[in-house]
Structure 1
Amino acid sequence: MIYKFAKFVVWVIFKFLYRIKIHGQENIPDQGPVIICSNHISNFDPPVVGITSPRDIHFMAKEELFEKKGLGFLLPHLNAFPVKRGMRDRNALRRGLELLEQGGTLGLFPEGTRSKDGQLQKGLAGAGFFAMRSNATVIPCAIIGSYDRSEPLHVVYGQAIEFETLKVENPRAQDVTDEIMANIQSLLEENTK
């Protein structure tokens, strides 16, 4: 209930502030497990992906945020769960896989942190881990523009990434993440003026 209300309120505010344009929403399946992987340019990226996706999304958020008063209560109601950064967090990995097994949608920013120069950085192996260990459809997403309100912010959802050829080669999680990042980079290049 809080999630739906927050999504509506944030949509109204952000749509006005950033003139958000959504492209490729039809590429997100209506049912079944989905992983949405996006570039990361701002702290506003999680709510932007959350409000532009037709599905409710669960995000990992750094553990420190859950220790802050108010946020610690609110974040679980906004479908966020904690992850310890800088180490392999088995609880967060398990929670992410459970959500996917239940047919949910997991939102990931494979870079792990915001890009300081706006350029796509190397992705971490976690995204590849979830893609390999689940039957989820992986949708690349590109957030294009800036949050300075001088131009519309574009959110582009690409077509599902095909991993069949790669899986035959028995890839490492990092190899799968690299493929995801290549798809995000293609979206950025194809949709940037």
Structure 2
Amino acid sequence: MPIVGSFLSSIGAVPVQNESNELAGIRAALRVLEQGKTLALFPEGRVCNHDGLCPFQPGWAYLALKTGVPVVPSIIPRRGKIYMQIAAPWTLKKVQRPRQEILEDLNAKLFSQIDQMLKNL
């Protein structure tokens, strides 16, 4: 989708998950957050082809813990009119080296909250 890619680049989007350049994407995302800018991520890392949620990737949790920025759980349902539902922000303590089990716990917590938000539509 060259048009979508061009649009996303023009608004400052940073591709974070790209198998050939994943580390560069993570570094770019860290720079955005360290500059105090907003970074929107889709924790599934892709668009799902069904109504349910796909498994979440841990990159969002890693970035939040490394920088200590707040996480704002949000959903943009793909039904009818386009709108966004935003939950209360999470405040995470900055961690120098996030452990895998912490990333997995945060992933499960976010997945549960997003799933509940979708069910309550």
How high is the TM-score relative to the length of structure 1? 0.51
Q: Residues 131 and 138 of structure 1 are in contact (CA less than 8 Å); yes or no, is this contact kept in structure 2?
A: yes
Secondary structure of the structure 1 residue equivalent to 2:14 = strand
Aligned twin of 1:44:
none
Q: Separation in 2 of the partners of 1:71 and 1:141?
A: 21
- Aligned equivalent of 2:18, options 59, 65, 85: 85
- Aligned equivalent of 1:160, options 52, 77, 89: 89
Q: Separation in 2 of the partners of 1:73 and 1:189?
A: 34
2:115 corresponds to which letter in structure 1? Q
Which structure has the larger Rg over C-alpha atoms?
Answer: 1
In structure 2, do the counterparts of structure 1 residues 88 and 115 end up closer, same or farther at CA, with 3 Å as the change threshold?
Answer: same
Q: Residues 17 and 45 of structure 2 are in contact (CA less than 8 Å); yes or no, is this contact kept in structure 1?
A: no
- 1:94 Cα shift? 0.8
Q: Deviations over 1:1-40 (max 9, x none)?
A: xxxxxxxxxxxxxxxxxxxxxxxxxxxxxxxxxxxxxxxx
Question: Which one has more relative contact order, counting CA pairs under 8 Å at least 6 apart?
Answer: 1
- 1:85 Cα shift? 2.7
Gaps of 5+ in 1: 1-64, 165-169
Q: Residues 131 and 176 of structure 1 are in contact (CA less than 8 Å); yes or no, is this contact kept in structure 2?
A: no
Q: Deviations over 1:43-77 (max 9, x none)?
A: xxxxxxxxxxxxxxxxxxxxxx6xx4x76665432
Tell me if 1:99 matches 2:32: yes
Q: Separation in 2 of the partners of 1:71 and 1:121?
A: 22
CA RMSD, Structure 1 to Structure 2 (Å): 2.5
- 1:179 Cα shift? 1.8
Gaps of 5+ in 2: 94-98
In structure 2, do the counterparts of structure 1 residues 163 and 189 end up closer, same or farther at CA, with 3 Å as the change threshold?
Answer: farther
Secondary structure of the structure 2 residue equivalent to 1:176 = helix
Secondary structure of the structure 1 residue equivalent to 2:47 = coil
Greater strand percent: which structure? 1
Percent identity (aligned): 23
